[in-house]
């Protein structure tokens, strides 16, 4: 029969490295393409990453524009 490890009564936590740079394709999922993520991709000089960030940004902007258009349409309808 396999042995089970006993659980400690104290909870341990892990910290993420403070030196890690955010990435639009990081392990925590995609980041919204805000200015810092775009500038950081440019600063790293990785063409593949810059193309990926650019494509993500274009999609993000398209989605945001569609939501903004829908909101403006709703505002106009509510105002009469």
**Domain limits, the chain:** 35-79
**20-43 tens-digit pLDDT:** 444 444 456 665 667 888 999 999
**33-77 tens-digit pLDDT:** 678 889 999 999 999 999 999 999 999 899 999 999 999 999 999
Nearest to 30 by CA among 51, 67, 57: 57
Q: What's the pTM value of the predicted model, to 2 decimals? A: 0.54
Q: How far apart are the first and last CA of the chain?
A: 74
Q: Give the C-alpha separation, 49 to 41, whole Å.
A: 6
Q: How many Cα atoms are found within 13 Å in the side-chain-facing hemisphere of 14?
A: 2
Residue 74 structure tokens: 């709703």
């Amino acid at each position: 029969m396999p042995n089970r490890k006993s659980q400690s009564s104290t909870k341990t936590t892990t910290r993420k490295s403070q030196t890690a740079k955010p990435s639009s394709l990081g392990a925590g999922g995609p980041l919204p393409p805000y200015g810092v993520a775009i500038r950081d991709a440019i600063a790293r000089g990785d063409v593949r990453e810059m193309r990926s960030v650019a494509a993500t940004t274009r999609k993000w902007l398209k989605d945001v524009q569609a939501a903004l258009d829908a909101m403006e349409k709703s505002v106009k309808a509510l105002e009469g």
